[in-house]
Structure 1
Amino acid sequence: LAEAIEQRHSVRSYTEQRIEGEVLAELRKEVAACNEESGLNIQLIVDEPEAFSGFKAHYGKFSNVRNYLGLIGKKEDGLDEKIGYYGERLVLKAQQLGLNTCWVALTYSKRKSKCVVEKGEKMVCVIALGYGATQGVAHKSKPVSSLCRTDGDMPAWFAAGMNAAILAPTAINQQKFRLTLEDNKVHAESMGGPYASVDLGIVKYHFEVGAGLENFEWA
């Protein structure tokens, strides 16, 4: 997982290669596991070019997106953060399976997507996925020191968590979050901005992978 975090970058252009066989089966299994654990209704749509065929997708510089995850859940407090957390778990699983991904908030057609959103549910965003035309490029990160606070020296596990957290994808690469360590409890807070709660969920998943859940608990 730590390797997947290092290697994964956003990709907007994809090849014609279909997601099938073992890779598709593994992906479906992980979607089912995430839904069962979280109560979300994440849906994997494959071989469907319509949602990314219009002007919005063109504006977002997407090409040949034929597969995506619809991130859907009941309208309730904490939905966005949960979507970020489990969506990123699926992003990293896809990376481990040799696929590429991109978080997408606005530059796709919700109307044309084949996801089924039940009454009382909301589709927060989607994740484009497939075999990338490239592997994407790393984005610039803020220094770790500007994104966290600790009492005294920074433990090695916290530093490892932060190194994973700064590689988390955030909306328009804003990295508006702060993680604070107090007595082995970590407090995660968002500093606002678009899709801030989704970002916080993504960051928290990365931090857990890096730090190891056995070393701390969330405040």
Structure 2
Amino acid sequence: MDIMQAMEERHSVRSYRDDPIPEDILEELRSAIAERNEAGGLNIQLVLGEPEAFSGILARGFKGVRNYLALVGGKAEDLDERVGYHGQHLALMAQQLGLNTCWAAGATCRRSRCGAEVGEGEKIVCFMALGYGVDGGRPHRNKPLESLCRTDTEMPEWFLNGMRAAMLAPTARNQQKFMIALEDGKVRAESTGGFYSHVDLGIVRCHFELGAGVGSFEWA
């Protein structure tokens, strides 16, 4: 499965079977998590066989979640965006490995009962359910392309490819509150507000880069 297929087939899945994740897949995940933590200055943690974090009343939309990522990092102004960017790389890798995922706001889960270790000066930004879903989820609705981007010239093919990928990105409550602009030869991604919008912006930037092709453009 290539990365575009992973983006197209990855949907939010909230109900999970109790099937164990094979050790070889877990090793690939652990290796990828270590790489993303190093690249993003994060402390993302894989928690296995722990049902309590997703058992509260606010997690009523989730069923059977026993494995998840706790997206942890040192408190900083750009933490949410880094969590979104690097976390989505992990979500897409999980899809390529045959797993399903779903982002979950920190308030959805019982932080006090989760199995992650949070150091001094760190916080849990959000969680990501992980495992074998009861089904593969459903595609989300999209806003019109023209409402999510603008260009100061005729839209290049690489930019269109990036936008198609960005529109596949999951966002909180499917709000798609972002704007991607091509101006003076550089690309700028901006949040237009909303719930968890900076995490969303990191996720969208991840998708845009992968769709447009790293090296095809420069961020402003």
Indicate the TM-score class for this superposition, using the shorter chain for normalisation. Answer: over 0.9
Q: How far 1:143 sits from its partner (Å)?
A: 1.1
Give the Cα–Cα distance (whole angstroms) in 2 for the partners of residues 168 and 184 of structure 1.
Answer: 24
Match of 1:73 in 2: 73
Give the match's secondary structure for 1:19.
Answer: coil
Asked if the contact 1:101/1:130 (under 8 Å) is kept, the reply is yes
Counterparts of 1:69 and 1:179, CA distance in 2: 28
Secondary structure of 1:9's counterpart equals coil
Q: Structure 1 CA distance, aligned partners of 2:45 and 2:218?
A: 30
Identical aligned residues as a percent: 58
User: Displacement, 1:152?
Assistant: 2.1
Which stretches in structure 2 are left out of the alignment for 5+ residues?
none
Q: Report the equivalent of 1:116.
A: 117
1:33-48 counterparts in 2 under 5 A? 33-48=35-50
Amino acid corresponding to residue 185 of structure 1 in structure 2: K
Shift of 1:16: 0.8
Distance in 1 between residues matched to 2:149 and 2:59, nearest whole Å: 35
The amino acid across from 1:149 in the alignment is R
- Length, aligned pairs only: 217
Offset of 1:28 from its aligned partner?
A: 0.6
Counterpart in 1 of 2:216?
215
Query: How far apart are the structure 2 equivalents of 1:78 and 1:217?
Result: 19
Query: In structure 1, how many angstroms separate the alpha carbons of the residues matched to 2:211 and 2:184?
Result: 18
State how far apart, in whole Å, the 2-side matches of 1:24 and 1:147 are.
Answer: 36
Matches within 5 A, 1:118-157: 118-157=119-158
Per-residue deviation at 1:12? 0.2
Contact 1:19 1:46 in 2 (8 A): no
1:60-87: CA deviation from partner (whole Å, max 9, x where unpaired): x110000000001110110000000001
Q: By how many angstroms is 1:184 displaced?
A: 2.6
Question: Structure 1 unaligned runs (5+)?
Answer: none
Distance between the aligned counterparts of 2:56 and 2:81, measured in 1? 28
Partner residue of 1:30?
32
